[in-house]
Amino acid sequence: MSKGILLISTVSSEEDAEKIARHLVERKFAACVNVIPKITSFYFWQGKLQKDSELLLLIKTIKDMEEMIIDEVKRIHPYQVPEVLSFDIENGLEEYINWMMSSVSHENRGK
């Protein structure tokens, strides 16, 4: 049985957040995507310190979908180098994890 995972990504606009969230959930790549507004990110880009207002995406899915989601986010994300990080879910409410497992497409698993 595939384990649950949480992927995170950031975007600069509500439009991009909704586009990515809808894309992943409608295609059943992810069970749920939370959009958290108004985060501030500090980072170096092309040798300069940047400070940007962004939105955080919390993408809940299963391990079998990990590479597909990373590829899809990279393909449709507006950033040249988008943040896409993955974390294994070690524990959680069993009923929620079962719902996650049943919410992603069986046809898409492991592609």
Per-residue pLDDT of the chain (111 residues; tens, 9 = 90+): 568 999 999 999 999 999 999 999 999 999 999 999 999 999 999 999 999 999 999 999 999 999 999 999 999 999 999 999 999 999 999 999 999 999 998 676 555
Q: Report d(CA 101, CA 31) in Å as an integer.
A: 8
- Answer for the pair 84, 30: CB distance below 8 angstroms, yes or no: no
- Assigned fold of 4-103: Alpha-Beta Plaits (3.30.70)
Q: Report d(CA 58, CA 33) in Å as an integer.
A: 5
pTM: 0.92
* pLDDT score recorded for residue 105: 81
Of 111, 110, 108, nearest in space to 25 by CA:
108
Of 9, 31, 5, 28, nearest in space to 75 by CA:
9
* pLDDT score recorded for residue 109: 54
Interacting residues of 46 by C-beta distance below 8 A, sequence separation 6+: none
**Cα angle for residues 26, 21, 1 (degrees, 5° grid):** 65
| Annotated domain spans of the chain | 4-103
